[in-house]
Structure 1
């Protein structure tokens, strides 16, 4: 599938997607996070692109949610699902679920749901998931202590493309290599012609280096794993606490990660730590060693019994008068002991090996002098020796660790992806458990819901009264104010939307028709003016005349509020007749059910949410609509209560009975 074939993907978006390593694979997997990492594509846009790719794959034209209210209800239901995801990836991934016309797409999601509902939801897994995120590519990896060298322009271009982390240089001959070796710790010559060339410095001839980038730049693999260390460790914890089968050995991965510092350097190597500390502490250790020597000499000079008082001698020495001769003649042993103590301190402080110690001892000369001072050339030689040893060991350990990790990158990516997908599955499982969901049957022309409870009400779900309701063809739903007509309509719409998303529904059981378009019209706020009224009629005109072209479910809440009650009843009756002729299904909530029924040219079904009475001024309602029953209104119930009550005079009760006869 070409990227431009995805609905909503134009040339500019396709160009951004091609910046990804595998854009087609990301779309196939529904990987919203990967799509969102493309330049200029937001998370919301990424979800829409992935949904478009799904529609293209299933030849789904879209358009199921045909009205604003239908789209609002879908978003409300989707929010209940996404808020059960732990990871941001899970939330984005769930947003690719949408109500579809395609049986194949619905079957695909149902298969996913079956797998999800088999998962055990455990708090330990959810806690571990909190640390899992999609893997990130490290930015700005640059290696400045080595370079690649070649005499060939084509090889030069190839090297720049394959290993951009290091400098690539053009050289003409061995002299050029020698010049590079003076500026870089390591030079990797790519031309076999340089084999056997004797050049001072670390120059390696590796004609196949471009085939093994990890050996040339181990920092590439190490930076990736260092950047994603926390994510990988969290994914390991998810696999350990869940039933997932890891794609690699978890102990091996954890062991490799434990050898890696956050900055991509090698950790846990005592020798490397010793060399690193020695380089870092060298100047401080030399200064302390100087103090050790000078303190001992000062003490020896002050206590020495010579021809002049020790204090006078000290003053002369500090002014530089005859230092060499005085020390050589009078304090040779003390000077040797002081310098020996300084050398021992330097070796011990830096934990130097015997070979390194031989260089360190040259930091303090044998010739007597006071104060004792370091030999800067020797300090530089020691620093160079330690730094070179450190760099050689670090490079070797980096190559070893990178070799262990480089081949694991694909499996590590799969490890994290599996953990993220588990979050998606667990969110679906939790949704189904929290709302006591059942898999709906998709059959018939109408719908039938048993024990349905709307999860969208502003009360705890366990306090929602279950509702049984079904309808074939078009029906009117009557009932008292606050009796639950709108919430019943919301329940029907929610069940239909979730079923066409491929998800279970909040009911004991449900049968849902195969709907291509859901038209849900919310209650309008007040009577419309002439222009708005005409626009509304046009909407219903298009709906009524187009219903035969698609399997349509129409849900309407109190359409009569758009204009005067007498005219509304006639208009609604005409709409119902057109929908009935087209074979559409629908439920119209109305307080004018009786008047509409009388105006209809066919035997329209009227169902009612029955109020069984008043208690303490509150309605007592049977929330499940009664079939073929015109529900009584709240005023009728109040008048009946007054007529049958004990309060008031006989003449007042007679008045109430006369009013009751009008209903």
Structure 2
């Protein structure tokens, strides 16, 4: 990031920043140092976060809100990144992962996926050596030191703030030279240069503290008087005590010969109470301090000349070290949750044996209790599961997993756009913005208006996008909802966008659908011995899923303890049985779909 890019929504960085301080700020931005950046740059925490976000969006080559088009999509992205950030060893790497933004640039996405592959290779090599935990302990030291401003030099403060990070990198280079993947990751790092930087920093900081000479002399004066009070009667002995203390002062303050002579000249008497000539002491201290300040200034200038040329390299190295921690965190999450690298295509979105990342996290990374699901929309080139359709309606059993499937598809798409591995055995996605509309628990006045205000502009925009909608029907009465949703589906089917709608209203919707769409269904087969639904969560393609009110009422009837309550449930079941002959949902056979199929076969 160059200097002109350090601009904020509310203005620019303070104009009085030195070039060294600006380099420091740029490095902190790339390192995602949200804690240290505000005080260093003289800005608010909010503006600091704005700078970090802008930097991440520049890396992605697009603003996040142009990719994740709804609040639901952005919230899902934040929740997904928590999974990866939780595996990071350092706070800086955690920040970097949490602030990651998605991209629609295929090159950016593939470069990030390549980094995920590199992270796995490094992780595997460390595991083979049995030194993964040792390595992560070193990475946990990646942090900026608080500013101390001892020397008044922005250059030295730059390096002092990065001392722990440079020390950690040097330790990695020296202790893990037998791990080629680690060495290649830091191919541009020179351990001798790192040692030189750290040694220079230690040398100048060791000489940066100018002692309080007047206090040293005053303390010696008290010690001399204390010794003389202990009954030293021999004058020669008393003189010896004074001379010894004078020698200690000279040694402690590293005095020159001229300063030593001034000190001796300030010695007045060995009688009690012993004291130095105050005027002489003030003169001595003034000259001594002036010399020390000149020496320190010379050391600082020499160190600055030596270190300044390494500032850009060190910023790059710090960023690289934090990146290493980040990709190892991704590798750790990938191993824990069985994540794989997705393909990046153009035709559609699909996955084989996909799983919900959040359910896996609840199970501690395990998958035995989760039924994997395979699904696709559009025409992904590497995954052939169902009839390629851009508009798909998902129907079926209550609590059958329709919403989970929709969220899984959204998660896989967003993770792929972030350049991260996804929870599936195989997956492919096409870079495009995503509109995610999750089901709202409560129905509020004006909800229909709000949803239509959100959806209609989306459908009117013909740019390609992924639209995922979960149960709009609760917003108004079923008949009207069916017609509204059908019109939305008809519009979606005429575009290149990918559209998935989860609904219970197939009966009300499908008679009004005028264009080719795919209707899939999830089925429940009954109840187990515990009264839980037996559901095949893998959707059946080109099949209308049946609702499960009968099974749910049977479960409630079994669980009822009061005879009157059980009898009422049985009456409801009987009512359902009387209407069993009536079609619950419209048939799947549509004349326009059959005509389309016949025309295609005749052209083949």
Q: 1:493, CA displacement in angstroms?
A: 0.6
Residue range with higher mean Cα deviation, 474-483 or 86-95: 86-95
Distance 1:534 1:380 in 2: 83
Distance 2:449 2:483 in 1: 15
Distance 1:282 1:627 in 2: 91
Q: 1:346, CA displacement in angstroms?
A: 3.1
Which residue is equivalent to 2:506? Answer: 593
Deviations 1:532-554 (A, max 9, x none): 424433443333333xx211222
Matched, 1:628 2:542: yes
Matches within 5 A, 1:138-287: 139=149, 141=151, 222=156, 224-226=158-160, 228-240=162-174, 243=182, 244-245=186-187, 246-249=189-192, 250-259=194-203, 261=205, 264-265=208-209, 280-287=215-222
**Secondary structure of 2:102's partner?**
coil
Specify whether residues 660 and 16 from structure 1 end up closer, same or farther in structure 2 by C-alpha distance, changes over 3 A only.
farther
Deviations 1:98-138 (A, max 9, x none): 33333333234334434344332733333333332357766
Specify whether residues 341 and 96 from structure 1 end up closer, same or farther in structure 2 by C-alpha distance, changes over 3 A only.
closer
Distance 1:124 1:598 in 2: 64
Q: 1:479, CA displacement in angstroms?
A: 2.4
Question: What TM-score do the two structures reach when normalised by structure 2?
Answer: 0.71
Which residue is equivalent to 2:381? Answer: none
Question: What TM-score do the two structures reach when normalised by structure 1?
Answer: 0.66
Matches within 5 A, 1:441-520: 441-443=343-345, 445-457=347-359, 459-460=362-363, 461-463=365-367, 464-471=370-377, 472-515=389-432, 517-520=433-436
Distance 1:220 1:140 in 2: 10
Q: 1:589, CA displacement in angstroms?
A: 0.8
Structure 2 portions without partners, runs of 5+: 127-131, 177-181, 378-388, 585-604
Which residue is equivalent to 1:436? Answer: 338
Q: 1:489, CA displacement in angstroms?
A: 0.4
Specify whether residues 630 and 241 from structure 1 end up closer, same or farther in structure 2 by C-alpha distance, changes over 3 A only.
farther
Which residue is equivalent to 1:119? Answer: 122
Over the aligned positions, Cα root-mean-square deviation in angstroms equals 4.6
Structure 1 portions without partners, runs of 5+: 143-218, 267-275, 300-333
Q: 1:478, CA displacement in angstroms?
A: 1.6
Matched, 1:576 2:511: no
CA contact under 8 A between 2:62 and 2:104: conserved in structure 1?
A: no
CA contact under 8 A between 2:84 and 2:333: conserved in structure 1?
A: yes
Deviations 1:477-536 (A, max 9, x none): 122222211111000011111222232211110122342x3222222345564x542443
Specify whether residues 404 and 140 from structure 1 end up closer, same or farther in structure 2 by C-alpha distance, changes over 3 A only.
closer
Residue range with higher mean Cα deviation, 434-443 or 119-128: 119-128
Instruction: Give the counterpart of 1:342 among 220, 236, 241.
Output: 241
Instruction: Give the counterpart of 1:73 among 71, 76, 85.
Output: 76
Matched, 1:82 2:85: yes
Specify whether residues 408 and 474 from structure 1 end up closer, same or farther in structure 2 by C-alpha distance, changes over 3 A only.
closer
Q: 1:72, CA displacement in angstroms?
A: 2.1
Distance 1:641 1:386 in 2: 92
CA contact under 8 A between 1:27 and 1:50: conserved in structure 2?
A: no
Residue range with higher mean Cα deviation, 282-291 or 466-475: 282-291
**Secondary structure of 1:610's partner?**
strand
Distance 2:70 2:268 in 1: 92
Which residue is equivalent to 2:599? Answer: none
CA contact under 8 A between 1:236 and 1:415: conserved in structure 2?
A: no
**Secondary structure of 1:119's partner?**
helix
Instruction: Give the counterpart of 1:132 among 142, 146, 150.
Output: 142
Specify whether residues 13 and 379 from structure 1 end up closer, same or farther in structure 2 by C-alpha distance, changes over 3 A only.
closer
Distance 2:557 2:271 in 1: 122
CA contact under 8 A between 1:290 and 1:342: conserved in structure 2?
A: no
Specify whether residues 428 and 345 from structure 1 end up closer, same or farther in structure 2 by C-alpha distance, changes over 3 A only.
same
Deviations 1:388-411 (A, max 9, x none): 886787677667766665555555
CA contact under 8 A between 2:519 and 2:542: conserved in structure 1?
A: yes
Q: 1:347, CA displacement in angstroms?
A: 5.1
Q: 1:598, CA displacement in angstroms?
A: 3.4
Larger radius of gyration: 1
Instruction: Give the counterpart of 2:466 among 539, 553, 573.
Output: 553
Specify whether residues 601 and 4 from structure 1 end up closer, same or farther in structure 2 by C-alpha distance, changes over 3 A only.
farther
Specify whether residues 608 and 139 from structure 1 end up closer, same or farther in structure 2 by C-alpha distance, changes over 3 A only.
same
CA contact under 8 A between 1:281 and 1:350: conserved in structure 2?
A: yes
Q: 1:631, CA displacement in angstroms?
A: 2.3
Distance 2:286 2:485 in 1: 93
Specify whether residues 579 and 342 from structure 1 end up closer, same or farther in structure 2 by C-alpha distance, changes over 3 A only.
closer
**Secondary structure of 2:72's partner?**
helix
Deviations 1:279-308 (A, max 9, x none): 7543343444456556556x5xxxxxxxxx
Residue range with higher mean Cα deviation, 491-500 or 23-32: 23-32
Which residue is equivalent to 2:53? Answer: 48
CA contact under 8 A between 1:476 and 1:607: conserved in structure 2?
A: yes
Instruction: Give the counterpart of 1:618 among 511, 516, 532.
Output: 532
Which residue is equivalent to 1:180? Answer: none
Deviations 1:175-227 (A, max 9, x none): xxxxxxxxxxxxxxxxxxxxxxxxxxxxxxxxxxxxxxxxxxxx665555455
CA contact under 8 A between 2:204 and 2:299: conserved in structure 1?
A: no
Q: 1:45, CA displacement in angstroms?
A: 0.9
Specify whether residues 289 and 498 from structure 1 end up closer, same or farther in structure 2 by C-alpha distance, changes over 3 A only.
closer
Which residue is equivalent to 1:13? Answer: 11
Distance 2:260 2:574 in 1: 119
Residue range with higher mean Cα deviation, 278-287 or 392-401: 392-401
Specify whether residues 59 and 290 from structure 1 end up closer, same or farther in structure 2 by C-alpha distance, changes over 3 A only.
closer
Which residue is equivalent to 1:419? Answer: 321
Q: 1:73, CA displacement in angstroms?
A: 1.7
Matched, 1:524 2:440: yes
Deviations 1:590-630 (A, max 9, x none): 11224423332345322122223211111122222121232
